[in-house]
Amino acid sequence: MVRAITADNVNDALHSGFYWLKVAGRRENSRNGPVIVAPSPVITSYQFPERRVLFHPARDANPVFHLMEAIWMMAGSDQVDWLLQFNSGFGKFAEPDGTVHGAYGYRWRKRWTIDQVLWVINILKTDPTSRRAVIAMWDPLFDLGAHKADLPCNTHIYFCIRDEMLDMTVCCRSNDILWGAYGANAVHMSVLQELIAFELGVPVGMYHQMSNNYHAYLDLPIVQSFLDNPPEPVEYYQQNRVTEVPLLFKEDIRMFIEDCEDMVHGRKPTRVDFLRCVAEPMRESYLLRKEGVHMPMEDQSIDWFRAYTEWCERRD
298 burial type by CB count under 10 A (0-12 exposed, 13-18 middle, 19+ buried)? exposed
Confirm if 234 and 56 have CB atoms less than 8 A apart. Answer: yes
153 is a catalytic site residue = yes
Altogether, the residues listed in the chain come to a count of 316
State the Cα–Cα distance between residues 140 and 34, nearest whole angstrom. 27
Indicate the pairing of strand 3-7 with strand 42-46: parallel
What does DSSP assign to residue 251?
S
| Contact of 118 with 253, CB cutoff 8 Å | yes
Structural contact between residues 6 and 224, judged by C-beta atoms closer than 8 angstroms = no
CA of residue 181 relative to chain centroid, distance: 8
CA–CA gap between residue 290 and residue 299 (Å, rounded): 22
Q: How far, in Å, CA of 28 to CA of 34, rounded?
A: 6
Which residue type occupies 191? Answer: V
Q: How big is the chain by its Cα radius of gyration, in Å?
A: 19
- Annotated catalytic residue: which of 153, 171, 172, 260? 153
Closest CA to 235 of 63, 68, 21, 48: 48
217: amino acid identity, one letter: Y
Q: Which residues are catalytic?
A: 153
